Amino acid sequence: MSAAPQMPDDTPHDTPADEPAAVRERYARRAVADRRYHPLEPSVWCARLERERALLGLLAAQGWGDLSQRRVLEVGCGSGGNLLEWLRLGCAPAHLSGIELLSERLAQARCVLPAAATLIEGDALQAAIEPASQDVVLQSTVFSSLLDDAFQQRLADAMWRWTKPGGAVLWYDFTMNNPRNPDVRGVPLARVQALFPSGRITHRRVTLAPPISRRVCRAHPAAYGLFNALPWLRTHVLCWIAKPPSAG
């Protein structure tokens, strides 16, 4: 079995001045198709189902039973999978928006999402999003690909600005470094709290460490739940970062 992932350090990192360009380069290095991340792989769909259950629990805890009037914006929407999930949960297509840096991924999202959804290509910091216009602003494994601390903070500030008072930032990302991949960096919960100092954070530790998940799911997908019952084997956090109703 693979060794446990390394914990991230908190020292400053030297990074390029143009972080969006650097992100494009990092994703280009990952462009080769990798079967490990295919949605039909048991380790992938087991993790997705677990995350969906955790999200439903967070929504229920907020009393959000009807999403038809909620406005949801995803930063780094990729090929549109997460926004499709919100569509299935009851969001109106016209209330869904996504921002994506990579044109090829945005093209895929345009193919699968309803025409009424708003899709924006480019750097999220340049996007024309009205302040306090979104009930939920979400990101999924975006911040772990940002190695510039200052850019991380600027993006977090923008996401917070776009969130309505009484709404929330929804965060899903891994907390531990991958020693085999210098293009990513784990974002521990303390860093999330520092990025959103005014937010009230409810979090759940989720997602069995992928190297372990792939191995155990080859034996049987049911083994995912058995190993995932051990909290120290979970590498990601799902956070509901609530914006107080009186926040500016």
pLDDT tens, residue by residue, 131-159: 999 999 999 999 999 999 999 999 999 99
The whole-number pLDDT of residue 241 equals 98
Per DSSP, 95 falls in state: G
Q: What is the 3-state composition of the chain as percent helix, strand, coil, each rounded to the nearest 5?
A: 40, 20, 40
Of the listed ranges 64-68, 158-162, 164-168, 179-183, the least confidently predicted one is: 179-183
Q: Using CA atoms, how far apart are residues 98 and 84, in angstroms rounded to an integer? A: 11
The whole-number pLDDT of residue 22 equals 81
Q: Using CA atoms, how far apart are residues 235 and 221, in angstroms rounded to an integer? A: 18
Which pair of structure tokens corresponds to residue 5?
Answer: 């992932």
Q: With bands split at pLDDT 50, 70 and 90, how would you rate the model's confidence at 10?
A: very low
Residue 72 falls in which region: left (phi positive, over 0), alpha (psi -120 to 50) or beta: beta
The whole-number pLDDT of residue 31 equals 56
In Å, how far from its chain's centre is CA 78? Answer: 11
Does the structure show a pLDDT above 70 at 3? no
The whole-number pLDDT of residue 24 equals 76
Residue 81 falls in which region: left (phi positive, over 0), alpha (psi -120 to 50) or beta: alpha
Q: With 0-12 CB in 10 A as exposed, 13-18 as middle and 19+ as buried, what is 66? A: exposed
Q: Tell me the domains of the chain and their CATH numbers.
A: 39-242 (3.40.50.150)
Does the structure show a pLDDT above 60 at 32? no
E strand segments, 10-160: 72-75, 96-100, 118-121, 134-140
In Å, how far from its chain's centre is CA 121? Answer: 18
The whole-number pLDDT of residue 182 equals 85
Q: Say whether pTM exceeds 0.85.
A: yes
The whole-number pLDDT of residue 15 equals 42
134 C-beta neighbours (distance < 10 Å), count = 24
Q: In which residue are the tokens 């650097």 written? A: 22
Over residues 81-130, the pLDDT tens digits come to 999 999 999 999 999 999 999 999 999 999 999 999 999 999 999 999 99
Does the structure show a pLDDT above 60 at 16? no
- Give the torsion sign (CA, 216, 219, 221, 226): negative
Of the listed ranges 9-13, 75-79, 107-111, 163-167, the least confidently predicted one is: 9-13
What are the two backbone dihedrals, phi and then psi, of residue 100, each rounded to the nearest 5 degrees? -140, 130
Over residues 184-226, the pLDDT tens digits come to 999 999 999 999 999 999 999 999 999 999 999 999 999 999 9
Which pair of structure tokens corresponds to residue 18?
Answer: 């143009």
The whole-number pLDDT of residue 2 equals 39
Q: Using CA atoms, how far apart are residues 129 and 133, in angstroms rounded to an integer? A: 8
Question: 38 near 195, Cβ under 8 Å?
Answer: no
The whole-number pLDDT of residue 123 equals 94
Question: 187 near 220, Cβ under 8 Å?
Answer: no
Q: Using CA atoms, how far apart are residues 240 and 96, in angstroms rounded to an integer? A: 18
Over residues 40-62, the pLDDT tens digits come to 999 999 999 999 999 999 999 99
The whole-number pLDDT of residue 23 equals 79
The whole-number pLDDT of residue 6 equals 43
**Measured over all CA atoms, what is the biggest interatomic distance in the chain, rounded to whole angstroms?**
51
The whole-number pLDDT of residue 120 equals 97
